[in-house]
Amino acid sequence: MEEKSVCIDGYNIRYLIDGKSKKNLILIHGLGASAERWEHVIPNFAKNYRVIVPDLIGFGQSDKPLVDYTTTYLGKFIKKFLDHIDAMKVSIIGSSLGGQIAIDFTSDNPTKVDKLVLVSPSGIMKHSTPALDAYIMAAMYPNNDSAEYAFQIMSGQKNIDENTVKGFVERMKLPNAKMAFMSTLLGLKDAEIVSQKLSSINSPTLIVWGENDPVIPIKYASSFISGINDCRFVKMSGCGHTPYVEKPDKFYQSVSEFLK
């Protein structure tokens, strides 16, 4: 796995890349996360794909300019990023916020997307949940205790990897990190529900949802399934908001079968 960077509109964007295939697979993380969130599944996907995992602009180690972080802005960022690294055709896996960004990008660039995987995507739910509230508090007042508590609630697991907690706290203490987080959150609240964009997606799509997701409950899955023309669904039993972290082998198996 290599760590690289690319300059987009004058801003430094950090990303991870792994695999030698000519088939491109981009993984898009969620709110407040970074490329490392996918570390448990990158090596497996890299066996059959060139796996490209950016820190979204405003997050991780990428630059955090003073802009409005709407999903439209982030969707256009993905297009510029892929153009810069010469990835003309891709399959996409987007988680939570990353799922909504993937929907925006696919809707605007239908010929660029081979297959689409949405993991507990945002875009339909408009109210907060206790798990999301805990995550927001951890982002605004980052320390090990608040971060660990938030990740415990989101995953439904007591034992959280120490590096996950430490990495989140360190990222949220970076300059402009809180600004980008809150701007994105407000952008999500102000964005139109994605229903109309779903109907324009023609790429074969897989919806993956943790059965016990407390951040964006699984009841919202039906809106995505019914809204996309060619759609399949996998319910991940015993999982919360991030099945690729909680049960990475099972997640990889389900998604790789769909991608093939």
pLDDT at residue number 69: 97
pLDDT at residue number 42: 98
pLDDT at residue number 146: 97
pLDDT at residue number 215: 98
Has this prediction a pTM greater than 0.85? Answer: yes
pLDDT at residue number 131: 97
pLDDT at residue number 85: 95
Domains in the chain, ordered, with CATH? Answer: 2-126+192-259 (3.40.50.1820)
User: Running DSSP on this structure, what letter comes out for residue 219?
Assistant: G
pLDDT at residue number 28: 98
- Contact status, residue 119 vs residue 243, Cβ threshold 8 Å: yes
pLDDT at residue number 258: 98
Phi, psi angles (nearest 5°) of residue 46: -70, -10
pLDDT at residue number 248: 97
Distance of CA 158 to the CA centre of its chain: 23
pLDDT in tens, the chain (260 residues): 999 999 999 999 999 999 999 999 999 999 999 999 999 999 999 999 999 999 999 999 999 999 999 999 999 999 999 999 999 999 999 999 999 999 999 999 999 999 999 999 999 998 999 999 999 999 999 999 999 999 999 999 899 999 999 999 999 999 999 999 999 999 998 888 999 899 999 999 999 999 999 999 999 999 999 999 999 999 999 999 999 999 999 999 999 999 99
Helix/strand number for the chain, H first, E second = 11, 8
pLDDT at residue number 162: 95
Task: Please list the alpha-helical segments (H only) found in the chain.
Answer: 42-45, 71-84, 97-108, 130-140, 144-155, 162-172, 177-190, 195-198, 221-227, 243-246, 248-259
